Structure 1
């Protein structure tokens, strides 16, 4: 089994009659960028708080970096950097002074190297120019980056980031994404909690999907997409013949001969109508190559005017799993 940076077994948290996290079994591979995905209120932050020992679990167990939590809190936390529920800094202190203050509270941090480490962390997140500026005058994006700098004051094996691009403009979002990629390139496992589809698709190698406190899916991004429904669409004036050819190849059409829908997400010349129709067929586990399908259609006299493989997107798979919508706007 792949080494796991985070593992939970039946992890559960109840608040009186409400079950916020319901028996989840997380498996976060070491060295991955793991997207912890789900709408607001799905139990992501509560899970993170249990993993970091900030709240106790009602049932189940959790291991972080191979150590039982919260029993091994003193051994694990020095190896973990975290940004949870947004950064909070003293507004009257400079960015550098805020970091020095947090570092001084860490009994594992050496005072003799504090100034150098603060400077290096600020440089890593692109805030050297604002080191002496009061944190109260920082933009939201600068505060997010200062929070990341705080997580990097000491060498970390695991970074836990809760909504790291929350409230950022597009430029700030790109900067934070670039930073996270650089952390992963250095060998750090990054656990990113987010409700933003673009966040996860652009950053992560693995994903877990939460819904109403339950972990409804996890694995690599490709595995999650492949577990959904993919299909082909053929635009042709010969729908009956096309349907017969596809059926002969083991791809049974959904509705051969359906009229193209004007304004659908297809090239304009394909959706124009006329005598053309769209034949749709689901792809199985081991379908023929797209070029082989087109060649078979043409060889049988089918006039192919459009051909598309429609693969399940992460958003579609999320809706299939949870029945919920998704905030896709950063």
Structure 2
């Protein structure tokens, strides 16, 4: 068995003269929660559609759960649960009736166990109490959870979730986040497409970043943070000019005062061969600079993204 739940090689999709996905080489380890990052229009949803066999690639290949797609869709897709571009339900059917309808449309499902599986899926996502409520009366968060319940009607090795918290309020976001964590705890590989950095940082073990249809980085979340710009040091002191002079003498680059709301602090970027943090503190004290606070700030996921793509990002949870 492959140790990758998803693997692509040179995966490409063109729409006329536009290349939506360009030479994608993706590697999603089994058992991971993989955050597929990128701003809207970067090629995330097109990639997901190709992985699920909803559209054919223009070039390259993809393997899902160790099998070639879309050729092996009949054997792969029953093992994959998906929530793509938000759930769509019949508004005047209940949550339970909607799930029964979707399950009946799945030729791999067993009608003899349908009632049991629908009830279990609703309970799993916390909608057992609302099973007989009409879907039009569901909140957006409840509809997202109902979509997840639909993805769980059969045992799944892989869940593919496209923007699962899109448009949710903070409470709905927390509910969906908790559900995704529970799926991962059960050993399911979860592939989460998102443009919300806060979600990825709280949920994911691995990350890949799309920009302009190309994959610009992938790896573990920790490696992703460590690779890139150098960490910054921040000194809190009433003598910012003296602190800046000491930092400059030590080779700490790009020294700058903090915002006006925090005038008694100065920051600088550590070079690769820069002094150890304790040596910086010792030099400040030796120079008579009163140090009221000192920290080394690693690179955030947002900073790493901007460094890779030069684009801003939505960081609202």
Give the structure-2-normalised TM-score. Answer: 0.92
- Structure 1: unaligned runs, 5 residues or longer: none
User: What residue in structure 1 maps to residue 281 of structure 2?
Assistant: 294
User: What residue in structure 1 maps to residue 173 of structure 2?
Assistant: 173
Q: Does the residue aligned with 2:260 lie in a helix, a strand or coil?
A: coil
Q: Does the residue aligned with 2:168 lie in a helix, a strand or coil?
A: coil
User: What residue in structure 2 maps to residue 224 of structure 1?
Assistant: 224
Partners of 1:193 and 1:261 in 2: CA distance: 34
Displacement of 1:309 = 1.2
RMSD (Å), alpha carbons:
2.2
Displacement of 1:126 = 0.6
Displacement of 1:300 = 6.5
Q: Does the residue aligned with 2:299 lie in a helix, a strand or coil?
A: coil
Displacement of 1:18 = 0.6
Displacement of 1:283 = 4.5
User: What residue in structure 1 maps to residue 102 of structure 2?
Assistant: 102
User: What residue in structure 2 maps to residue 40 of structure 1?
Assistant: 40
Partners of 1:315 and 1:287 in 2: CA distance: 26
User: What residue in structure 2 maps to residue 254 of structure 1?
Assistant: 253
Partners of 1:240 and 1:192 in 2: CA distance: 43
Give the structure-1-normalised TM-score. Answer: 0.88
In the alignment, does 2:247 pair up with 1:243? Answer: yes
CA contact (8 A) 2:252 2:274 kept: no
In the alignment, does 2:272 pair up with 1:284? Answer: yes
Partners of 1:286 and 1:123 in 2: CA distance: 55
Partners of 1:224 and 1:24 in 2: CA distance: 18
Partners of 1:241 and 1:286 in 2: CA distance: 15
Partners of 1:155 and 1:10 in 2: CA distance: 30
User: What residue in structure 2 maps to residue 81 of structure 1?
Assistant: 81
Q: Does the residue aligned with 1:116 lie in a helix, a strand or coil?
A: helix
In the alignment, does 2:294 pair up with 1:322? Answer: no
Instruction: State the Cα deviation string for residues 19-67 of structure 1 (Å, max 9, x = none).
Output: 0001111110100000001111110000000000000000000000000
User: What residue in structure 2 maps to residue 144 of structure 1?
Assistant: 144
Displaced runs of 4 or more, over 6 A: none
CA contact (8 A) 2:246 2:283 kept: no
Instruction: State the Cα deviation string for residues 47-104 of structure 1 (Å, max 9, x = none).
Output: 0000000000000000000001011101100100000011111122111111111111
CA contact (8 A) 2:243 2:284 kept: no
Distance 1:259 1:139, change over 3 A: closer
User: What residue in structure 1 maps to residue 12 of structure 2?
Assistant: 12
CA contact (8 A) 1:239 1:279 kept: no
CA contact (8 A) 1:4 1:66 kept: yes
CA contact (8 A) 1:6 1:66 kept: yes
Instruction: State the Cα deviation string for residues 110-138 of structure 1 (Å, max 9, x = none).
Output: 11111000000000001111111111221
Partners of 1:233 and 1:90 in 2: CA distance: 55
Displacement of 1:287 = 6.7
